Structure 1
């Protein structure tokens, strides 16, 4: 894997806190907190398809969807003055199962007058440890 270049640690920590607020909303089943973190034009790209802001919050209609999570290997990429991509590996457990899962997440956070809002997120399932990487 490639090494990440020098990082603005303060910005990285700020964005991890923002991303954590989304995960905490999933753990608490708090749709209002989830909506508060998402930009009105939010687009999610998931193995199940596309999702808007309302779709993302709707997953919490029945309560929490995640019981545990960990953000690992976070890195950022500035894509515009007030737009930053946060990418990381998430280890998590869904409510109703003890089976741990992992995925890679790319979230674009846009800073506006209301602070940072998540405008885009894409998840892809992580290969199991020891699985052969299909990339050269």
Structure 2
């Protein structure tokens, strides 16, 4: 897969989600740089605050990503926007989120440097 291929970045994004399913903060740390910034309904999250969500184990039971779009914003940067339907452990129904992640290449690796999660209508 080429870095202009939406599937290339969806595969990276799925690794982030899978780390939330397994509760594996180390796996997620492999994709998020030290200066990661997240934004969700609760406000801003730096890397440590983001990873603290996994302190008690998995935060996602299952997920499905769809409607992906890719926008190149520089030679070594893309925005991946998509819909995520995710169910938390112990919950009956999935919640919908619309997410945009900034992936930037540093050296020979792609890093998820920013992510904004917008809850879907309930």
Distance in 2 separating the partners of 1:51 and 1:22: 15
TM-score (norm 1): 0.84
State how far apart, in whole Å, the 1-side matches of 2:4 and 2:63 are: 22
Give me the CA root mean square deviation: 1.5
Which residue in the other structure is 1:5 paired with?
none
TM-score, normalised with respect to structure 2: 0.94
Name stretches of at least 5 consecutive residues in structure 2 with no aligned partner.
none
Shift of 1:11: 2.2
Matches within 5 A, 1:22-61: 22-61=16-55
Change (3 A) 1:38 1:114: farther
Q: Which has the larger radius of gyration?
A: 1
Give 3-state SS (helix, strand or coil) of 2:91's partner: coil
Query: What's the CA shift for 1:112?
Result: 1.4
Aligned residues: 121
